[in-house]
A and B are shown apart, each in its own frame.
Chain A
Amino acid sequence: MEKRVRFDSQVLPWMLVAPQLAICAVFFFWPAAQALLQSMQVQDSFGLSTEWVGLDNFKTLFNDSAYLESFQVTAVFSLLVAVLGISLSLMLAIFADRVVRGALFYKTMLIIPYAVAPVVTGVLWVFMFSPSIGVVAFGLDRFFGFQWNHLLDSTHAMTMIVTAAVWKQISYNFLFFLAGLQSIPKSLIEAAAIDGARPWRRFWTIQFPLLSPTTFFLLVINMVYAFFDTFAIIDATTHGGPGRDTAILVYKVYQDGFKGGDLGGSAAQSTVLMLIVITLTVLQFKFVEKKVNY
């Protein structure tokens, strides 16, 4: 899109973009270039000498079972978060669209998780799910005879981070679905009703198909969210454990780079992550641009 009118100054625009470009250069491009560089080098344990190894780091990475496991964990985690998060929020949005009385109250309450920091969500979850003192752990034991221990059981641990991540994302997904539903002209629903469709049928044959751009968009966003923004949740709750069973890719980057001191390997992982983000972002921009015309 182009504007017909322009200002003529040649110096001014550069001055205007300078701050953003400067920061981008110093804090984005330079480090990203460094990361790329480092991913193809190996440092000795004292950081005194570096050796160029080309794609060796990557080869090691993909032969490393720990790394491949992390890939798998991340895939499972992000799929669960995306699917559960979207289904739950969609259901809430559908019914929020129907109620008139109290709509503002419900909406306000449902927005609140957006304000809660991921790490705080993690802390709350540690408190509630603690095998020794947690209120949820207690409830599971008392009412279902179920022994909860996410420190020992991988499935419990995964459940814990998935529920925390989904809880946090409810608001975001809910708002988008609600906006999507409300942008469908009321007359379409009425026409379907007159054509004989009951509410359930109307939802599946009219509303859901017309929501598909929103759904697809949220799918991509939720996956990006699960890949990156959930770092804090994991750091607060399971620390990637038990063992490595909840070490998603971004957590592993942190562990290997900052805790483990393996800069080359960590940089290689960062590069792989970069490629994943680029793919997802391109997907989002290209395919989500289709909008339904009414």
Chain B
Amino acid sequence: MASITLKDVVKRYGIGPKANQVIHGVSAEIADGEFIVIVGPSGCGKSTLLRMVAGLEEISGGDIAIGGRVVNDVEPSERDIAMVFQNYALYPHMSVFDNMAYGLKIAKVPEAEIKTRVDKAAGILQLGPLLQRKPRELSGGQRQRVAMGRAIVRQPQVFLFDEPLSNLDAKLRGQTRIEIRKLHAELGVTSLFVTHDQVEAMTLAQRMIVMNAGRMEQFATPDEVYARPATTFVASFIGSPPMNLLTGQANGASFTLDGQTVPLPAPAPRNGELTLGLRPEHVVAGGSGGWPLKVELIEMLGAERLVHGQLGSHAFTLRMDGMLTPPAVSSTVQLQLSAQHLHWFDVATGVRVE
């Protein structure tokens, strides 16, 4: 059983009144075999959270349990985990083979078994011809695979990935992403993957933890996070181009934005000040009686166009298919909204309102 349980996990630097709290009570239940991505902007605490699970950072409050066992005071070497670092952390003075065999040697695994496991991992990751080379003779992508191979041979309860794709070029990143998915399908080991890239998060995660400033804002499947973001932060972080957020007064089936009242296809969940979220891909330009958008700038991206304009004093972006005729710059188009794609958020807290 390699579930992971985070219960009110807190991280503080320093002690006493001047202590700096960077993680504020994160709780999550991760089932055996799940591939979980922790995603958020730089400095949100995602790496710190991962390192606490690894045992590389002390836990200031709350509990972390791996496979049902609370590991707060357990050394990293005893947690039966494996980690892939952002800069690979390969032992420079050892060959690829020895790098992968290191952990097994320490665990006193018999030599024959070591060879079997390393060869198997090398096979999966296509490292066979590189086994006797030193890390400095390998390319970035190759080093990455060695780092993963080192994790695989340990056959641990949990895999931890700390932004492993950040140092690769774009093409390699895409390829490696797919390899990681295949690996997970084959090995089925519980995995925690940290990244700041929302595309990686959306494509790799079975469920994802979206973090912001030390808080977990949402823990759900990619579909859920996309279709029903829990906060304005999640709403604007996931999805590209980001969701348009408009703050105004809701009154039944109409919405007042900068003094202009426009109709809603469905009534707001409550009256009063609310933030309305509309994804660029869920708004259509055309027709009449919609929301008047003053077109300022159009970006041509081949398969699609991004139309940037002003809705009152709010900037607004809408996405349209590349084959359709775009509106003229400085013209005003009517935006048609869809009832299923309205997102409402409380203005003060940013929390979703149903």
Asked whether the complex places CB atoms of A and B closer than 8 A, the reply is yes
CB neighbors of A among B54-109 (8 A): 54-56, 75-78, 81-83, 85-87, 89-93, 102-103, 106-107
Count class of interface residues, chain B: 20 to 34
CA distance A193 to B90 in the complex (A): 13
Chain B residues with CB under 8 Å of A185's CB are: 87, 89
Instruction: Check A293–B85 contact: CB distance below 8 A.
Output: no
A186-204 residues with Cβ-Cβ distance < 8 A to B are: 187-188, 190-198, 201
Known pairs A193-B56, A195-B102, A196-B106; A210 contacts B77 (CB<8 A): no
* Closest-CB distance, A56 to chain B (whole angstroms): 51
Query: In the complex the two chains form, what is the Cα distance from A87 to B325 in whole Å?
Result: 78
Among B76, B91, B150, the residue within 8 A (CB) of A190 is B76
- Chain A residues with Cβ below 8 Å from B92 are 188, 210, 292-294
Number of interface residues of A (CB under 8 A): 20
Query: In the complex, what residues of B have CB within 8 A of residue A193's CB?
Result: 55-56, 75-77
B103–A196 CB distance below 8 A: yes
Q: Does A260 contact B (CB under 8 A)?
A: no
28 A–B contacts from the bound complex (CB under 8 Å): A187-B85, A187-B86, A187-B87, A188-B89, A188-B92, A190-B54, A190-B56, A191-B89, A191-B150, A192-B102, A193-B55, A193-B56, A193-B75, A194-B55, A194-B56, A194-B81, A195-B77, A195-B82, A195-B102, A196-B103, A196-B107, A197-B106, A206-B91, A209-B93, A210-B92, A210-B93, A292-B92, A292-B93
Q: Nearest Cβ distance between residue B135 and chain A, in whole angstroms?
A: 8
Whether B87 contacts A194 by the Cβ 8 Å rule is no
Query: How far apart are B188's CB and chain A's nearest CB, in angstroms?
Result: 21
Complex partner residue of B150 from A195, A205, A294, CB under 8 angstroms: A195
In whole angstroms, what is the CA distance A206 to B90 when docked? 11
CB distance from A135 to the nearest CB of B (A): 43
Interface residues of A in 28-76 (CB under 8 A from B): none
User: What residues of chain B lie closer than 8 Å to A206, measured between beta carbons?
Assistant: 91
Distance in angstroms from B121 CB to nearest chain A CB is 14
Residues 156-173 of A, flagged 1 when their CB comes within 8 A of B and 0 if not, give 000000000000000000
Contacts of B83 in A (CB 8 A): 190-191, 194
**Can you name the residue of chain A whose Cβ is closest to the Cβ of B136?**
A293
Q: How far is the CB of B134 from chain A (nearest CB, A)?
A: 9
Q: Identify the closest chain A residue to B79 (Cβ).
A: A194
Expressed in whole angstroms, the Cα–Cα distance for A292 and B107 within the complex equals 27
